[in-house]
């Protein structure tokens, strides 16, 4: 396991802040009170551990298949429904949404190999990630990848109530590999994936996803 570069500044600032707080507590607030000082140190270590675990990148074998669409993020499937995709396709698609809690790995991965045909970033609100309007009103990105077969897959990074920054590493015209990093969302969020109606969906609501590993759907010949 390694730690994501997006967390370097946050982890450093958190460590410095906790050291300063513990120093002040030791010399002034809890001077002479060993129990309180130790308790403060333990709480600080737990808090720092929570921050560090958020930026972890576990080692895992990635799923690579020309016709399979893999989960772009860790989390729980909260939506599987047929809906009108109004931004790019402007037609009916199957939407699969994955909610990412602050305890999930927050690396986002490309669900298929292909070319980035479309990319947009939208600043916006910070509604809770499961709110019906979060996919159209929250800070978000929209990415469309064209597979070798010509099939296009759209997916969105959506910031939640806690997330305050979306990071992406893709641009229009770029070729990407399935499972490679496409971005990061800091501190809780959601990812929506839009697949063709005739795709075979392999997951159900409540299923736990592993980004780059779990097969969400499969394009039928």
60 membership: H or E segment, kind and range: none
- The model's pLDDT over 41-98, given as tens digits with 9 standing for 90+, comes to 999 999 898 888 778 888 889 999 999 999 999 999 999 999 999 999 999 999 999 9
pLDDT given at position 96: 97
Q: Does residue 189 have an active-site annotation?
A: yes
| Fold adopted by 68-218 | Glucose Permease (Domain IIA) (2.70.70)
Contact 102, 74 (CB under 8 A): no
Residue 16 has pLDDT above 60, yes or no: yes
pLDDT level of residue 134 (50, 70, 90 thresholds)? low
pLDDT surpasses 90 at 106: no
Residue 117, number of CB atoms within 10 A of its CB: 15
Distance (Å, whole) CA 120 – CA 66: 25
pLDDT at 138 over 90: no
Residue the block writes with tokens 């159209």? 136
Residue written as token pair 């958190």 = 14
User: What is the domain partition of the chain in residue ranges?
Assistant: 2-57, 68-218
Task: For strands 68-70 and 215-218, give the pairing.
Answer: antiparallel
pLDDT per residue as tens digits for the range 23-46: 888 888 787 788 888 898 999 999
Q: Who's near 13: CB < 8 A, 6+ residues apart?
A: none
The C-alpha angle with vertex 8 and arms to 168 and 98, in degrees rounded to 5, equals: 40
User: For 147-192, what is each residue's pLDDT tens digit?
Assistant: 999 999 999 999 866 655 788 999 999 999 999 999 988 766 889 9
Of 97, 134, 135, 189, the active-site residue reads: 189
């Amino acid at each position: 396991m390694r730690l994501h570069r997006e967390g370097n500044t946050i982890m450093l600032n958190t460590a410095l802040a906790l050291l300063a707080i513990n120093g002040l507590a030791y010399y002034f607030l809890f001077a002479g009170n060993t129990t309180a000082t130790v308790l403060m140190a333990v709480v600080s270590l737990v808090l720092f551990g929570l921050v560090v675990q958020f930026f972890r990148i576990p080692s895992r074998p990635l799923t690579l298949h020309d016709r399979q669409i893999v989960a772009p993020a860790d989390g729980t499937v909260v939506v599987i429904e047929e809906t009108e995709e109004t931004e790019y396709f402007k037609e009916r698609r199957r939407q699969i949404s994955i909610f990412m809690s602050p305890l999930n790995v927050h690396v986002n991965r490309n669900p298929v190999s292909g070319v980035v045909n479309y990319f947009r970033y939208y600043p916006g609100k910070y509604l809770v990630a499961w709110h019906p309007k979060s996919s159209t009103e929250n800070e978000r990105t929209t990415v469309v990848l064209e597979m070798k077969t010509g099939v296009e897959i759209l997916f969105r990074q959506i910031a939640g109530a806690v997330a305050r920054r979306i990071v992406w590493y893709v641009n229009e015209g770029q070729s990407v590999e399935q499972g490679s990093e496409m971005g990061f969302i800091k501190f809780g969020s959601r990812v929506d994936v839009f697949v063709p109606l005739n795709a075979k969906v392999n997951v159900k609501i409540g299923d736990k996803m592993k980004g780059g590993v779990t097969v969400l759907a499969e394009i039928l010949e």
